[in-house]
Structure 1
Amino acid sequence: MGAAGGCLCGGVRYEIGGDLTPPVACHCAQCARTSGHFAAMTCCKSEDLTLLASETLVWFRSSPAVARGFCGRCGGNLFWREDPGIQTYVTAGTLDRPTGLKLAGHIHVGSKSDYYEVADGLPQKQEW
């Protein structure tokens, strides 16, 4: 229970006071464009997420109901939140180590890029 993390430059630091879900690797085109590959995301209740430093946090509305949080200085991909924002998805790579988390599976594998295969034996969903 609980975790902390942040971006590469330290402009954004956060703590999570509650439980995190097992991360899921999302292979959709939007995650690929924001991360450079696929994005491994864990999830928490938004009320459990506390920003300790947010001077460089920028929110980008990637679709009418979704906002993505990133660092405006180093470009770190940090958060994904769908309106009304009850849950916040956190990129697992921004968590301080050790995380204690284990990847649960893959989503949107039907739209993944062609330069890699998903062959780790975990469950795969073509879409969400």
Structure 2
Amino acid sequence: MSTATGSCLCGAIRYRVDGPLRPVVACHCSQCRKTTGHHVAATSAPADCVTIEGEPRWYRSSDSAERGFCPTCGSNLFWRRPGHLSIWAGTLDTHPDDLKLASHIFCADKGRYYEIADGLPQAAQDDPALALATRPG
């Protein structure tokens, strides 16, 4: 079984994922843009495979999901809904060689100041096939 670890900038929040990580999906929705200043690149795992140390603050961003961040340094870390936890890929301590960006979702909401030119699949909104049945935003 694979294990991955990560943390916020100051280290007050640490996490461990026991099991495989989903390929990275870039979410360009307006909520992800506003909480991070750009788009989000997130992997994910079933919530019961993730152990969180410390006390993230959770913000209810919709009727079905919350965003988790460090109340000390402000690092954005997670997006969750029941049974599922998306993890901002940049917060991982190390990146497994097989963890790669796979697709883009909510491209209709992306900022006008950049183009998506990597040739990966894109969806105007959410697309479970591109996001592999999960999404970060």
Q: Which amino acid aligns with 2:31?
A: Q
Taking structure 2 as the reference length, what is the TM-score of the superposition? 0.87
Q: Which residue number in structure 2 is paired with residue 73 of structure 1?
A: 72
Q: Which amino acid aligns with 1:90?
A: I
Q: Distance in 1 between matches of 2:27 and 2:33?
A: 8
Q: Which residue number in structure 2 is paired with residue 8 of structure 1?
A: 9
Q: Distance in 2 between matches of 1:35 and 1:9?
A: 17
Q: Please state whether the residue corresponding to 1:63 is helix, strand or coil.
A: coil
Contact 2:4 2:94 in 1 (8 A): no
Q: Distance in 2 between matches of 1:39 and 1:99?
A: 18
Taking structure 1 as the reference length, what is the TM-score of the superposition? 0.93
Q: Which runs of 5+ in 2 are unaligned?
A: 127-137
Matched, 1:92 2:93: no
Q: Which residue number in structure 2 is paired with residue 33 of structure 1?
A: 34
Q: Which residue number in structure 2 is paired with residue 117 of structure 1?
A: 115
Q: How many residues align?
A: 124
Where do residues 51-70 of structure 1 align in structure 2 (5 Å cutoff)? 51=52, 53-55=53-55, 57-70=56-69
Q: Distance in 2 between matches of 1:37 and 1:96?
A: 21
From the two aligned structures, give the one with the greater strand fraction. Answer: 1
Q: Distance in 1 between matches of 2:94 and 2:37?
A: 21
Q: What is the CA distance between 1:19 and its match in structure 2?
A: 1.1
Instruction: Output one character per residue of 1:27-50: Cα deviation in whole Å (capped at 9) or x when no partner.
Output: 000001111100001110100000
Q: Distance in 2 between matches of 1:2 and 1:32?
A: 29
Segments of 4+ in structure 1 off by > 3 A? Answer: none
Q: What is the CA distance between 1:98 and its match in structure 2?
A: 3.0
**Which one of the candidate residues 103, 106, 109 is aligned to 1:105?**
103
